[in-house]
Amino acid sequence: MSTNNTNPPSMRFPFALEGKVDPEVADAIRSCYNGFVVHEQAFAALKEQLTALQAQISKINSGT
């Protein structure tokens, strides 16, 4: 499974909004942004798992 240990969700949000918007707004934007990043990483991990599963199925179907 693909993980991004060097860039945890709390560190991914690149925008410096402190003092520019209400803190709750900044937290909401940060949560949405982090959710999208995690979503994209999940799809990358699923792709790797599906590729491995397809290889196993092909091997079973070919009888080797």
Domain count, the chain: 1
pLDDT (tens digit per residue) in 4-63: 555 555 556 667 777 888 989 888 888 888 888 888 888 878 888 899 999 999 999 998
Range of the structural domain that residue 27 is part of: 20-62
For residue 15, tell me if it sits in a domain: no
For residue 57, tell me if it sits in a domain: yes
Asked if the model's pLDDT at residue 1 lies above 50, the reply is no
For residue 55, tell me if it sits in a domain: yes
For residue 32, tell me if it sits in a domain: yes
SS (HEC) of the chain: CCCCCCCCHHHHCCCCCECCECHHHHHHHHHHHHHHHHHHHHHHHHHHHHHHHHHHHHHHHHCC
For residue 25, tell me if it sits in a domain: yes
